[in-house]
């Protein structure tokens, strides 16, 4: 059993904390006191069915703290899972939370092995190790779906660690594998910079795939063709496969928008056309969707849910917000139905909490994904959801 401190109680940090607390002592370091209280009362601060269930039903050696001196004391392994948002002014991720976490660890647990799970610019681990003169900093990319983060840790597609320390690499891989419910798990140990690259290229490929099927959908709409049958025919090729092929308003969420931009920034002075096109394709798709909605000459547009997908509480960079902003820029009134919003306005648009009123007052309702409660006003709904899945 190891003593582990996980810094950050987002979906990455919480899923890892719950997973590892099945077999180890885990302390969560979280600056938000409300999240600390929720975790210590065995309630999840994020929406994730498995995390909620495990907190309530499993025997977990897990406690949350707001004080780094207490949380980090005698920790053998420190896992950093703090947010790294893309900063357009820096043309890079804002890694200040990771830097602060490393400094706290060196202050309170200098002998601990540090594993960064936050997504990083390529080269961060090596440059930071040189900056502090340390050899105990490693990087392990996460491949988790929002709302299914613990499930994806219990049944991982693969586990990768970027390290120059083979012994610790094997130890950490086993730490994550031991509580898994999947019998055979692919694992890889590689250099940190290569592991950082794997994360960014993986997410950028997924964004490429989303963009490809969105552009197929745009083509079909413009030419008066049936996009669903085209997609079905294309995806019968086993080399292409039937996944990540449901059209949407664009890719969004925690990872894809920021990771594609970071990878493009890392391509500075490297010839490319595809990576730049993936970033631009999302803007083009949103422009196309907004124009298609405006061609219906709506007087009042309803936005059904700001979240990225069902079971999520994440609004960040959701594609529907991009559509909303484009429609508002043309002077069209927009009303938002989002039960998770507490304010009465969202970017100066009215938030309507009464679903019946919302349906009645809007002549067009845009929804990134179709749901059953919209069926009775299906004639008003604008969506590109062809297969009714994520």
pLDDT over threshold 90, residue 316: no
Q: What is the pLDDT of residues 54-67, one digit of tens each?
A: 999 999 999 999 99
Q: What is the pLDDT of residues 328-373, one digit of tens each?
A: 999 999 999 998 888 899 999 999 999 999 999 999 999 999 999 9
Q: What are phi and psi of 302, to 5 degrees?
A: -95, 135
Q: What is the pLDDT of residues 244-272, one digit of tens each?
A: 999 999 998 778 989 999 999 999 899 99
Tell me, what's the pLDDT at 317?
72
Q: Give yes or no on whether 3-190 and 247-382 have one common fold.
A: yes
Architecture per CATH, 247-382: 3-Layer(aba) Sandwich (3.40)
Whose CA is closest to 39, among 6, 72, 75?
Answer: 6
- Residue 9, C-beta contacts closer than 8 angstroms, at least 6 positions apart: 17, 28, 30, 32, 35, 36, 39, 45, 46, 64
Q: What is the pLDDT of residues 276-291, one digit of tens each?
A: 999 999 999 999 999 9
Give the span between the Cα atoms of 221 and 382, in whole angstroms.
13
The confidence band for 313, taking pLDDT boundaries of 50, 70 and 90, is low
Domain spans of the chain, in order of start:
3-190, 247-382
pTM of the predicted model as reported, rounded to 2 decimal places: 0.92
Superfamily of domain 3-190, CATH level 4: NAD(P)-binding Rossmann-like Domain (3.40.50.720)
Tell me, what's the pLDDT at 310?
60
Residues labelled catalytic? 255
Which two structure tokens, joined as six digits, stand for 339?
């039960």
Which two structure tokens, joined as six digits, stand for 80?
């950093």
Whose CA is closest to 112, among 78, 65, 73, 70?
Answer: 78
- Residue 85, C-beta contacts closer than 8 angstroms, at least 6 positions apart: 93, 94, 258
Tell me, what's the pLDDT at 370?
92
Q: What percentage of the chain reaches a pLDDT higher than 70?
A: 97
Whose CA is closest to 29, among 65, 74, 76, 3?
Answer: 65
Tell me, what's the pLDDT at 349?
94
Tell me, what's the pLDDT at 1?
86
Give the span between the Cα atoms of 124 and 196, in whole angstroms.
8
Tell me, what's the pLDDT at 376?
93
């Amino acid at each position: 059993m190891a003593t582990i401190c996980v810094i950050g109680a987002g979906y990455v940090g919480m899923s890892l904390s719950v997973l590892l607390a099945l077999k180890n002592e885990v302390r969560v370091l979280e600056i938000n006191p409300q999240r600390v209280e929720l975790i210590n009362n065995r309630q999840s601060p994020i929406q994730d069915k498995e995390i909620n269930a495990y907190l309530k039903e499993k025997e977990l050696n897990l406690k949350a703290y707001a004080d780094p001196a207490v949380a980090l004391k005698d920790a053998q392994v420190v896992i950093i899972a703090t947010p790294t948002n893309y900063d357009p002014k820096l043309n890079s991720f804002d890694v200040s939370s990771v830097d602060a976490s490393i400094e706290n660890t060196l202050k309170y647990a200098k002998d601990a092995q540090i594993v960064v799970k936050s997504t990083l610019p390529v080269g961060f681990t090596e440059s930071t190790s040189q900056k502090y003169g340390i050899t105990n900093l490693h990087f392990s990319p996460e491949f988790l779906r929002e709302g299914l983060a613990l499930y994806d840790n219990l049944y991982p597609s693969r586990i990768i660690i970027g390290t120059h320390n083979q012994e610790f690499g094997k130890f950490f891989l086993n730490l994550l594998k031991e509580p898994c419910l999947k019998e055979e798990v692919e694992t890889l140990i590689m250099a940190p910079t290569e592991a950082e690259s794997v994360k960014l290229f993986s997410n950028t490929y997924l964004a490429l795939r989303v963009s490809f099927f969105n552009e197929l959908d745009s083509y079909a709409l413009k030419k008066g063709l049936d996009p669903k049958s085209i997609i079905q025919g294309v995806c019968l090729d086993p080399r292409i496969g039937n996944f990540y092929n449901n059209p949407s308003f664009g890719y969004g969420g925690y990872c894809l928008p920021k990771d594609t931009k970071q990878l493009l920034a890392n391509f500075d002075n490297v010839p490319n056309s595809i990576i730049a096109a993936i970033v631009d394709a999302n803007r083009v798709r949103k422009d196309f969707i907004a124009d298609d909605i405006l061609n219906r000459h709506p007087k009042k547009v309803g936005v059904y849910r700001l979240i990225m997908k069902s079971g999520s509480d994440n609004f960040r960079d959701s594609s529907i917000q991009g559509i909303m902003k484009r429609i508002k820029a043309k002077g069209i009134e927009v009303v938002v139905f989002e039960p998770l919003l507490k304010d009465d306005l969202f970017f100066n648009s009215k938030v309507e909490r009464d679903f019946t009123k919302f349906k009645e007052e809007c002549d067009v309702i845009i929804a990134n994904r179709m749901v059953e409660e919209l069926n009775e006003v299906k004639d008003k709904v604008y969506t590109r959801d062809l297969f009714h899945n994520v």
